Amino acid sequence: MEQDEKRRNFLKYLGASSVVVGTIGQGVLAEEQAQTSNESKKPHYGMIFDQNKCVGCTECEVSCHKVNAVPQGQARLYVQNKTDPKTPMEKRYVRVSCQQCEDAPCVNVCPTKACHRDEKTGIVTMNADDCIACKYCIVACPYDVRFINHETKAAENCNFCLNTNFAKKQDPACVQACKYKALVFGDLNDQDSYINQILHVKDAVRMKPTFGTKPSLRYIPVVKVGV
Amino acid sequence: MNEAIEFTVGFSHGVEWGWPIGVYLLLAGISGGALIVSLALRYYKRQVEETPLLKAASLVSFVTIVFGMVFLVGDLEKPLYFWKILINYNFKSVMSIGVLALCLYIPLTFVLVAVVFEGWIKEHLSATPLSKLFFLFPLLKALRPAVEVLAFVFAIVVCAYTGFLISVLVRFPLLNTAILPALFVVSGLSAGTAFSSLIASFFFKADAHGGDMKTLHTIEWPVMALEMLLLFMLFVSLIVGTSFDKQTAGAFSQGGYSALFWFGVVGIGFGVPLVFNFLLGKKVAHSAFAFYLSGAASVLGVLSLRLFILYAGQTFSA
């Protein structure tokens, strides 16, 4: 008899708790959906570097320096020659610049929020006035693509020319300067954008994906076909 | 494919956080460690008087953390803008959390010094304008138990945060480990113990081989053993890890920083105190010379440890 009572109570609580937990779950789910639909309205800017097209002319570097007033001897963008010395005729170049991570360590560690995500565009950028140059973002960056600008004494990174060309509704300086169309800039959240059309038909990789920071830069590597 | 597409250069200059940060890490460790040990001893022994150790430790914790701030701010490229860090907070940032902890910890150590040195202050500063503030002493006395508990807690927080501060740097296998905060707390204890017992004995006439000093002397060895164990664990986690981890394990065997480790951390930090206290006989072990030398060696060893972790850590990147 007593057993029976216990079992009945148990079932009663089980029923009640499942209703409660279920509703909470539903609520969380609805919230998540609302968030993602909100996010999809926001742009997510990304860039493709196509190694097959890059010839290593470094016009992008020059243009970046000029447009963003980067001091001499410093760079937001660098083209590294990764040609294998054993096969000197097979040229390989690679773009070195901020990877515009979706989960950016620099934004997370900045104590003054000087390094932040631009509200409108979602681009990781700097508020040089609030930067105290503690260099935490520089050591926290998995890609080592940040530096202290000698002139402004503030940390800096490639922000897709947010304050220069982007403000004038133009493509970033490097994209404009590239004669070989090795660079493509666009909104990854816009399904019709050119950058997405390319990503649909070509295999692209992210740099050091194991760091888990979800970079927005995609690289199309040279692949040897047919052996 | 990956080798030709992954870039291998960066925009930083190798070691971006240099020796001023290393010295700060040492000073923060000494400050926190000294307070933790002296207050723990006070609770454990139910002391009510102002012992030489407590006098020394409260003074040491306040002075070292203030000097630490000088090094910390001095390392900024824009030192005059350091106040920006006090008005902007990012609770995802360990540095921000640390600043908040320091904002509470430093005043606490100051209050503790004032309370512990009440007698001295009343004796020596009564002729100065500061005597107008003496009416605060009864209030401070009432708050003392709370101040001590908070100072104890925040001393641990400050020691641990310095470890978390650099353990979040994912690029560096030597730094990006779970052991680092523990290692920093333990080595902080060891440096704090050594430094405050030197001060207690030299300035406050503590008996170097009796009372609190004797207790500290017995605590010293298990703490050192724990430090060795943590370093060993760190090393093992590297040699059994990824290719980047294995490469980083080379920090212990090659280059200038490995010399810093074996001479500074192991030779001076562990070797000198062990040799002078156990190998050269009781007469040497009980001499004042051995007491001061092994204390200084402990502090120097912890400085070497912080510098080794910082420099070797930033040299080997994934």
The CATH number for A192's domain is 3.30.70.20
pLDDT tens-digit map of B190-199: 999 999 999 9
Mean pLDDT of B69-89: 92
Residues contacting B62, CB < 8 A, separation 6+: B31, B106, B109, B110, B112, B113
- Considering the domain architecture, whether residues A77 and A126 belong to the same structural domain is answered as yes
A128 has a chain B CB within 8 A of its CB: no
Q: What is the CA radius of gyration of chain B?
A: 21
Is residue B56 within 8 Å of residue B197, measured between CB atoms? yes
Would the pLDDT of A18 be above 80?
Answer: no
Q: Are residues A98 and A132 in the same domain?
A: yes
Instruction: Point out the residue among A82, A108, A139 whose CB comes nearest to the CB of B314.
Output: A139
- In this predicted structure, the answer to whether residue B97 has a pLDDT above a threshold of 90 is yes
Computed over every residue of chain B, the mean pLDDT equals 91
Domain count, chain A: 2
Tell whether A98 and A198 lie within a shared domain: yes
Structure confidence at residue A92 (pLDDT): 92
First to last CA, chain B: 18
**B20 phi and psi, to 5 degrees?**
-60, -35
What local confidence, expressed as pLDDT, does residue B134 receive?
84
User: Which among A105, A138, A222 is the nearest to B12, CB-wise?
Assistant: A138
- Give the max Cα distance, chain B: 78
For position A2, what pLDDT does the model report? 57
CB within 8 Å: B172 and A111: no
Residues A95 and A206 in one domain: yes
DSSP A71-120: PTT--SEEEEE---TTSTTS--EEEEE----SS-HHHHH-TTS-EEE-TT
Q: Are A120 and A167 in contact (CB under 8 A)?
A: no
pLDDT band, residue A17 (cuts 50/70/90): low
Alpha-carbon torsion B66, B69, B74, B78, what sign?
Answer: negative
A205–B2 C-beta distance less than 8 A: yes
Domain residue spans of chain B: 9-315
- Going by pLDDT thresholds of 50, 70 and 90, the confidence category of residue B137 is confident
| A19/A100 same-domain check | no
**A91 and A71 belong to one structural domain:** yes
Asked if B257 and B249 touch (Cβ cutoff 8 Å), the reply is no
Residue A29 has pLDDT above 90, yes or no: no
Binary contact (B85, A112; C-beta < 8 A): yes
Using CA atoms, how far apart are residues B32 and B35, in angstroms rounded to an integer?
5
Q: List Cβ neighbours of B307 (8 Å cut-off, separation of 6 or more).
A: B19, B22, B260, B264
Mean pLDDT of B142-152: 93
What range does the domain containing A177 cover? 42-220
Residue A36 has pLDDT above 70, yes or no: no
Mean pLDDT is lowest, of A127-141, A161-175, B164-178, B275-289, for B275-289
Among 1.10.760.10, 3.40.605.10, 3.30.420.270, 1.20.1630.10, name the CATH number for the domain at B9-315: 1.20.1630.10
From CA A70, how far away is CA A149, in angstroms rounded?
8
Looking at the partner chain, which of B3, B10, B17 has a beta carbon nearest the beta carbon of A135? B17
Encoded tokens for B276: 């002078």
Tell if the CB–CB gap between A219 and B5 is shorter than 8 Å: yes
In a domain, A149, yes or no: yes
Same domain for A110 and A172 = yes
Q: How many helices (H) and strands (E) does chain A have?
A: 6, 9
Radius of gyration (Cα) for chain A, nearest Å? 24
* Cβ atoms < 10 Å from Cβ of B220: 21
pLDDT in tens, B27-45: 999 999 999 999 999 999 8
Alpha carbons B37 and B223: distance in angstroms, whole number: 11
How do residues B229-256 score in pLDDT, each as one tens digit? 999 999 999 999 999 999 999 999 988 8
Give the pLDDT confidence of B201-236 residue by residue, as tens digits: 889 887 777 788 888 888 889 999 999 999 999 999
Helices H, strands E: what count in chain B? 14, 0
Predicted confidence band at B2 (pLDDT cuts at 50, 70, 90)? Answer: low
Which residue, A47, A7, A96, is CA-closest to B11? Answer: A96
Residues 6+ apart with CB under 8 A from B299: B26, B30, B191, B194, B195
How far is Cα B236 from Cα A97, in angstroms, rounded to an integer? Answer: 34
- Would A191 be classed as within a structural domain? yes
Mean pLDDT, range B63-88, rounded to an integer = 93
Angle at A213 (CA atoms; ends A199, A54), nearest 5 degrees: 45
Please report which confidence band the pLDDT of residue A227 belongs to, taking 50, 70 and 90 as the band edges: low
Mean pLDDT of B38-63: 92
Does residue B17 sit at the A interface (CB-CB below 8 Å)? yes
Is A93 at the interface with chain B, CB within 8 A? no
**What ipTM was predicted for this assembly?**
0.89
Average pLDDT of the segment spanning B135-162: 92
Which residue in the block uniquely carries the two structure tokens 């959240």? A189
Is B84 within 8 Å of A221 when comparing Cβ atoms?
no
Q: Pick the residue with more confidence: B132 or B80?
A: B80
CA max distance for chain A = 89
Dist CA B169 CA A109 (whole Å): 9
**pLDDT for the residue numbered A1:** 52
CB pairs under 8 A between A and B: 128
| A157 and A101 both lie in a single domain | yes
**Tokens representing A206?**
């992210």
Q: What's the mean pLDDT in A176-186?
A: 95
DSSP-derived secondary structure letter, A186: E
Question: Which residue of B6, B76, B77 is in closest CB contact with A208?
Answer: B6
Chain B residues 154-173 with CB within 8 Å of chain A: 166, 168-172
Report the distance separating Cα A100 and Cα A44, nearest Å.
10
CA–CA dist B33, B40 (Å, integer): 11
B78 touches chain A (CB under 8 A): yes
Q: What is the pLDDT of residue B133?
A: 84
Q: What are the residues whose beta carbons fall under 8 Å from the beta carbon of B81, sequence distance 6 or more?
A: A132
pLDDT at position A40, please? 56
Which pLDDT score, from 0 to 100, does residue B280 have? Answer: 84
A138 shares a domain with A98: yes
Say yes or no: A21 and A78 in one domain.
Answer: no
Q: Which of A95, A97, A47 is nearest to A74 (CA)?
A: A97
Q: Inform me whether the pLDDT recorded for A32 exceeds 60.
A: no
Residues A194 and A175 in one domain: yes
